[in-house]
């Protein structure tokens, strides 16, 4: 064997073979648009999968079946969409380093913001993580995959597949796994960190990380706090729903609490967070949001809600937002909270969801008594004063109480 063939075997063929046998190799497999993989042992033709998709009352964890026309659209572990073709320097000229460009455009200088609070940045990171996460493109350098769904579905809390979702559930009373510390609920700790879990690379010896639906929660304390809030909120909602409907099964309580939690997240993101970046008037003109009390039924199955590569890599790095991407995220989501029909809420329930705010979620779950109503802006004595938590509107979960059925 000459050196050329030896080089080919060691540096080209061997890595491909090794990667194909690795547990994470499935992340790099391209989704077949004509056949969809429903499990490890069964492949179902697309037309059959569409029929089964129409029966799903609750959204899947990996985004499959959101779009009935193309069930794989917006799924986790699919390729990002692109606005323009990639430029990967195949003409042999080196592209400038992204780090160098960012430092030229945005030099690191201490700036004290007199208007926006830290929550505006941190919640933006939650939104960014919810619809984008990149895999290193080892086998196809000019195409990137996302490990999460392209939908605003709190996959950062519930996980991007059933295995993760089941792992963090109690399977009792609809609850997510937590443990009590200092009288407060916290996620369970990760007992054995693994490569790529955002914990093994960052923790100091003896430190632990949270065992949650998206391990990026362990990147910084502020992000961990946001994850903890939505985990506590899920369990708070679940306990209230079970109290109102003691005959509900664990699965029913869990899915309804998840649905409400996601709806609150979607409302906060679009009606409270994004307007401070894009401007409320601009969002109304572009029909990203509506000034309405009823349903918003503009779902379009022909809209591809797949996250844009530019959105995940560039636009969301600027205050974590991008107009076209968010418009598609809403219009292309069959399970969007403002839609009518059997997948949606009653109109009364929807109008309760519209009372949601991150400030109230903090009041309900963070053991505080006062906070400004608009948490994305700093408090001031004129337009955004600190308010007693009791004065901040709450979602009335009594509207989810099912009437008792009379025995026939």
129 vs 133 pLDDT, higher one: 129
Q: What is the pLDDT of residue 29?
A: 38
Q: What is the pLDDT of residue 17?
A: 37
For residue 273, give both structure tokens: 């967070």
Under 8 Å between Cβ of 51 and 102: no
Residue 269 lies in a domain: yes
Same domain, yes or no: 166 and 17: no
Query: 72 falls in which pLDDT band (50, 70, 90)?
Result: confident
Under 8 Å between Cβ of 279 and 273: no
Residue 249 lies in a domain: yes
Same domain, yes or no: 140 and 17: no
Residue 157 lies in a domain: yes
Residue 4 lies in a domain: yes
Give the active site residue among 129, 234, 265, 311: 129
Q: What is the pLDDT of residue 87?
A: 57
> Per-residue pLDDT tens for 80-120?
555 555 555 566 667 778 778 878 887 777 777 889 998 99
> Per-residue pLDDT tens for 339-380?
999 999 999 999 999 999 999 999 999 999 999 999 999 999
Under 8 Å between Cβ of 230 and 300: no
Q: What is the pLDDT of residue 305?
A: 79
**Cα 19 from chain centroid?**
28
Q: Is 129 a catalytic residue?
A: yes
Residue 38 lies in a domain: no
Check the annotation: does 320 bind a ligand. Answer: yes
CA 95 vs CA 84, 85, 91, 100, 137: distances in Å? 16, 15, 10, 11, 17
> Per-residue pLDDT tens for 172-211?
999 999 999 999 999 998 876 655 555 655 556 666 788 8
Once rounded to an integer, what is the mean pLDDT over residues 144-171? Answer: 89
Residues for the chain: how many in total? Answer: 408
Domain that holds residue 12: 1-28
Residue 256 lies in a domain: yes
Query: 2 falls in which pLDDT band (50, 70, 90)?
Result: low
Number of domains in the chain: 2
For residue 374, give both structure tokens: 């608009």
Same domain, yes or no: 293 and 146: yes
Q: What is the pLDDT of residue 132?
A: 65
Same domain, yes or no: 363 and 268: yes
> Per-residue pLDDT tens for 272-331?
999 988 899 999 998 999 998 999 999 999 988 776 554 445 444 443 344 555 678 899
pLDDT above 90 covers what percent of the chain?
Answer: 48
Q: What is the pLDDT of residue 362?
A: 97
325 vs 151 pLDDT, higher one: 151
The mean pLDDT of the chain is: 79
pLDDT above 70 covers what percent of the chain?
Answer: 70
Residue 44 lies in a domain: no
Same domain, yes or no: 19 and 104: no
Q: What is the pLDDT of residue 38?
A: 36
Task: Cite the beta strand spans of 216-369 per DSSP E.
Answer: none
CA 43 – CA 31 distance, rounded (Å): 12
Under 8 Å between Cβ of 338 and 268: no
Same domain, yes or no: 14 and 114: no
Nearest CA-CA partner of 236 in 180, 176, 288, 169: 176
**Cα 303 from chain centroid?**
19
Residue 84 lies in a domain: no
Output the domain CATH number for residue 369. 1.10.640.10
């Amino acid at each position: 064997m000459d050196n050329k063939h030896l080089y080919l075997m060691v540096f080209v063929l061997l890595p491909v073979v090794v990667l194909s046998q690795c547990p994470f190799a499935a992340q790099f497999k391209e989704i077949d648009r004509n056949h969809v993989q429903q499990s490890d042992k069964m492949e179902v033709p697309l037309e059959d999968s569409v029929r089964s998709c129409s029966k799903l009352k609750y959204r899947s964890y990996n985004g499959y079946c959101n779009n009935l026309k193309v069930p794989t659209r917006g799924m986790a572990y699919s390729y990002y969409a692109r606005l323009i073709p990639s430029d990967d320097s195949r003409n042999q000229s080196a592209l400038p380093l992204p780090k160098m460009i960012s430092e030229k455009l945005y030099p690191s200088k201490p700036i004290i913001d007199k208007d926006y609070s830290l929550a505006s940045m941190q919640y933006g990171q939650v939104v960014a993580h919810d619809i984008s996460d990149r895999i290193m493109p080892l086998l196809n350098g000019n195409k990137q995959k996302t490990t999460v769904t392209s939908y605003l579905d709190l996959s950062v809390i519930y996980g991007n597949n059933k295995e993760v979702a089941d792992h963090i559930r109690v399977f009792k009373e609809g609850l997510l796994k937590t443990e009590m510390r200092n009288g407060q609920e916290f996620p369970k700790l990760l007992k054995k960190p693994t490569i790529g879990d955002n914990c093994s690379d960052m923790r100091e010896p003896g430190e632990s990380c949270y065992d949650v639906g998206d391990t990026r929660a362990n990147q910084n304390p502020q992000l961990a706090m946001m994850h903890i809030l939505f985990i506590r909120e899920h369990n708070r909602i679940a306990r209230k729903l079970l109290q109102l409907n003691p005959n509900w099964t664990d699965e029913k309580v869990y899915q309804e609490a998840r649905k409400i939690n996601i709806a609150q997240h979607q409302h906060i993101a679009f009606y409270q967070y994004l307007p401070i970046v894009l401007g409320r008037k601009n969002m109304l003109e572009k029909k990203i949001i509506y000034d309405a009390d009823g349903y918003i039924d503009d779902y379009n199955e022909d809209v591809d809600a797949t996250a844009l590569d530019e959105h995940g890599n560039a636009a969301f790095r600027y205050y974590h937002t991008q107009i076209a991407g968010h418009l598609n995220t809403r219009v292309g989501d069959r399970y969007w909270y403002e839609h009518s029909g059997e997948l949606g809420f009653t109109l009364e329930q929807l109008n309760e969801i519209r009372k949601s705010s991150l400030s109230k979620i903090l009041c309900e779950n963070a053991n505080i008594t006062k906070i400004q109503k608009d948490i994305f802006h700093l408090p001031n004595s004129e337009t955004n004063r600190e308010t007693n938590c009791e004065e901040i509107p709450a979602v009335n979960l009594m509207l989810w109480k099912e009437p008792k059925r009379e025995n026939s």
